[in-house]
Amino acid sequence: MGKMPDTVSTHDNTGLLVLAVDDEAPGLSEIKFLLESSPHIRRVLTAFDAAEALRILRGDYEQEVMARTKAGLPPVDAVFADINMPGLSGMDLARVLSAFRYPPALVFVTGVEERDALVTAFDVGALDFINKPINEERVLKAISRVADRVGRTAAPANPSGQAAQNPAEPTDDEVIPVELGGTIKLVPRASVRYVEAQGDYARLHTQDGSHLVRIPLAQLEERWANAGFVRIHRSYLVALPLVSELRMTANGYAVVIGTGDGAKELPVSRRHTKELKERIVRPPKSGW
């Protein structure tokens, strides 16, 4: 077991509270140093394995962590976790975090031999990925992504001490790891125009091209519902804010995504037509 985090004053609540998890001391020291070099970071807690990380997140060592949970906030703003650890892996830790009522942002720190795992890591809700050897610029970019998410989704503490009623909504800064020629590219969800089902896979269509990911369309439909993506057909999920037209065709209704030369027409199945019309005429007041 690693040592308990040092106790420090919690009066200064500006900046991010993050937890770094790595079973190798040099790696943990390096990520802690780089995190602390960012002006966004207020404090870095550390753990040498996932089990110790969960004890910290339960508030076993930290009154501040427990107070945040009682106030309807994530126990920490973000967890930076190595994937390959003995016992509970980083993936195992991620699955536990996803079950939290108020989960912190998750950033994976991964070695070259683990990059294939990132193609499926999207399923556990990772916000970003940092490849080893760790690059300072990449760490700072991940921190900025966390800070942007926290700034738009963190619920304020309830003066009465009661937990907030609604967890934070998903944000548009989520990224999807896709494999291209042996490398991993991170595709922002905000760049996805529509998604096409291809068996147990899904193809993400952006303005610049398309990317195949190992995740069923039905799972994306559920995960991205609050981000403005709607099912229009058994084969298509579209970003509703990008729908420029709903038109009649010889075979029924179709939507047009985008405008000009880059516009794309997609069929709307009969079972989804009524709901789609209602969403276009009376879109939700929040969520996207």
Does a structural domain hold residue 244? yes
pLDDT per residue as tens, the chain (288 positions): 444 444 333 334 579 999 999 999 999 999 999 999 999 999 999 999 998 999 999 888 888 998 898 888 899 999 999 988 888 888 888 888 887 888 899 999 887 555 555 555 666 778 888 888 888 999 999 999 899 888 855 444 333 334 333 434 444 457 777 766 656 677 888 899 999 999 888 999 998 889 888 788 888 888 888 888 999 999 999 999 999 999 888 888 999 998 888 899 999 999 999 888 888 776 555 444
Q: How many C-beta atoms surround the C-beta of residue 262 within 10 A?
A: 9
In a domain, 8, yes or no: no
205 lies in the same domain as 133: no
In a domain, 22, yes or no: yes
Tell me whether residue 105 is exposed, middle or buried, using C-beta atoms within 10 angstroms of its C-beta: 0 to 12, 13 to 18, 19 or more. Answer: buried
Domain boundary among 88, 120, 152: 152
pLDDT of residue 1: 44
CA distance 162 to 156: 11
- Is the same domain home to 32 and 143? yes
Same-domain status, 148 and 28: yes
The answer to the question of residue 2 being in a domain is no
Angle at CA of residue 145, ends 41 and 227, nearest 5°: 135
CATH of the domain at 116: 3.40.50.2300
Q: How many CB atoms lie within 10 A of CB 55?
A: 15
Residue 252 lies in a domain: yes
With contact defined as beta carbons under 8 Å apart, do 15 and 21 qualify? no
Q: Does 165 reside within a domain?
A: no
Q: Are residues 122 and 91 in the same domain?
A: yes
Q: Which of 60, 61, 57 is closest to 69 using CA atoms?
A: 57
Residue 223 has what pLDDT? 82
158 in any annotated domain: no
Sequence length of the chain is 288
SS3 assignment, position 55: helix
| 3 state SS of 174 | coil
Q: Do residues 131 and 187 share a domain?
A: no
Task: Please state, in angstroms and as integers, the Cα–Cα distance from residue 148 to each residue in 57, 77, 127, 141, 284, following that order.
Answer: 22, 11, 11, 11, 23
Contacts (Cβ under 8 Å, ≥6 apart) of 26:
none
Q: Which of 119, 137, 152 delimits the end of a domain?
A: 152
Same domain, yes or no: 79 and 116: yes
Contact 191, 185 (CB under 8 A): no
- Are both 21 and 148 inside the same structural domain? yes
Which residues touch 85 (CB under 8 Å, ≥6 apart)?
A: 21, 22, 23, 49, 50
pTM of structure: 0.59
The pLDDT value recorded for residue 45 is: 96
Residue 123 DSSP label: G
Compute the distance between CA of residue 25 and CA of residue 22 in angstroms, rounded to an integer.
Answer: 7
- Which residue segment(s) compose the domain that 226 sits in? 175-281
Closest CA to 213 of 184, 256, 233, 236: 184
Q: With respect to residue 216, please indicate whether it lies within any of the assigned structural domains.
A: yes
CB count within 10 Å of CB 176 equals 22
In this prediction, residue 81 carries a pLDDT of 94
**At 53, phi and psi to the nearest 5?**
-60, -40
Q: Kindly state whether residues 179 and 138 are assigned to the same domain.
A: no
205 and 121, same structural domain? no
Specify the CATH number for the domain of residue 277: 2.40.50.1020
Confidence at residue 56, expressed as pLDDT on a 0 to 100 scale: 93
Are 142 and 24 found together in one domain? Answer: yes
Domain match, 145 and 22 both: yes
End-of-domain residue from the set 137, 152, 167: 152
Say if residue 148 is in the same domain as residue 179. Answer: no
Per the structure, the count of domains in the chain is 2
